[in-house]
Structure 1
Amino acid sequence: MQDPGFEQRLAAVAAAVEERLQAVLADEARAGEMLRPPRLTAAMRHAVLAGGKRLRPFLVVETARLFGTGADVDPLGAAAALECVHCYSLVHDDLPSMDDDDLRRGQPTVHKVYDEATAILAGDALLTLAFDLMADDAVHPDPAVRLALVRALARAAGLGGMVGGQMLDLAAEGRFDGGAPLALGADAVRRLQAMKTGALIRFACEAGARLAGVADDERARLVRYGEILGLAFQLADDLLDATGDAATVGKATAKDAAAGKGTLVSLIGVEAARGALKDLVDEAVGLLDPYGPAGETLKATAAFVAARRR
């Protein structure tokens, strides 16, 4: 059973991030903007304010909290920026030309509620808004830190990270040139998943460490924790796809098998995948041992990722 204190902390951060996202997605134009089209803003709110655990923002906040930050640093601003990138990716992934999903977090996806063109533009707008938020002076007083965050987020989200991972995923399904699904080995699957899913989770931990201004070796430890957590998150997701049901998970299941997509679960089996997931959690927890009681929340996060049901 999950520690109730952890659940309360997770819910508190999610509520704070939700409040911040509601504010930045208001109808009124911000300084430098001309007009916010109501339909586009509504679609963005549908994508972002549909609930969820807000794991990535939580990691930004809790990693920064592990080391402590000054009063002039705003982890919630960085967390909201990251969540905008994550939600943009979900909007685009759900499109008929991509994963073709009708449900997300138990609700109709953006293109089902609005239309495909609006969904594409909503994703585009969320991505650009993310960098607006990350570059804000309030995130950190040092412009060099903000620049480092913007650059790291761009690389985690883009060509060599999340977007590149999605491209590899589509190629593995045989989506191009009439090809058949590719038979990927375990290492290729891990690399694909580290890009598509893990890159933003890794960045979340890196961002918190950068906001706290820790030394390079400390930041590297938290980046490694984030890498492991990303692998664990995707492995848990693959197990849910293989063994869960849509009503519980909040989205369609068994889609990987239907698409002929190779996952670690399909390669090594359910029980071996569960064992691998436990090993990942153990490694993540071990990385936090030097921080004593201060690391307990992030240790609980690793257990939460492995045990989640949606």
Structure 2
Amino acid sequence: MNRGRVYFAAQALAGAVWWIAVALSPFVREATLGGLDPVVVATFDVPLFVVASAAAAAGVRAAAWVATGWTILVALGLAAYATVTTEAGWGVLAMAAAAGGSVAALCLLLVGRVPTAWLASGPFAFRPAMPRSNSAAHLASSLGQIVVFWGFFLVVVPLVVAFLEQRWAVALPTPWPVGIAVAGITLLALASALGFWAAFSMSVLGDGTPLPAAMANRLVVAGPYRLIRNPMAVSGIAQGVAVGLLMSSWLVVVYALLGSLLWNYAIRPLEEADLDERFGDEYRRYRDSVRCWIPGAPKPRAVPAAV
């Protein structure tokens, strides 16, 4: 069976179980619906979410469109409601997850895959940087990218996520706050150092930057790239987790981990295909010698010398 249909079947079952729990448990009803009238909500949600998901699982494409559209609408509506009232925060998280899953399942049902190529298009398309006579310009560009990207993804977004976590009343108590803060500071320092090291290596050795739109003109296999293929990605994910620890926000930690899944399953295949096309056997030998996520020494004589 198509994986999209399997997902919609699971979603229909989960929706039915949730509505039973809403009917039987005041705690579930309050946590997911707040002060909303469950009868009124069920009048629309049962046919448009539960029944439509079941029909989508049976292969009815129109029902898949209905279930997906309704799920997105409910997620947005609940988010607005929870932000204003501080109620139904757990319902927001559940429906946001369902909305993401429904979109992916709809793509699988319609075209058999989740189209991710658009992530590497337009200004984000993979292209080599303009060659420079010296590495200073690439280094300055890399540092500028770090300021912009780290500022947005490690400051702005986590602040918004932490605010919503509190506003939606889904924050959890933090055990051992001092120890967690120390762990966050340590992890942030180590991850940032790795990020700077990787950016420096890419600029000086690769005649480019870590940004996909200004990639290195030479394959870099020295510095942290000798130990792990994607040190910038590992750095960013670890930094996100560290920021979540420092803010005592489990939702920020989840945000960082979701970013790792997005990068691994959507961005990494596109990037590796581009590297394979540009560097051929040299890149394939490197890929087969150095792991993607877990640092380790490369296999002897398998990695070409840095250029």
Asked if these proteins are the same fold (TM beyond 0.5), I'd say: no
**Larger relative contact order (CA 8 Å, sep ≥ 6):** 1
> What TM-score do you get using the length of structure 1 for normalisation?
0.28
Select the structure that is richer in helix. Answer: 2
The structure with more radius of gyration: 2
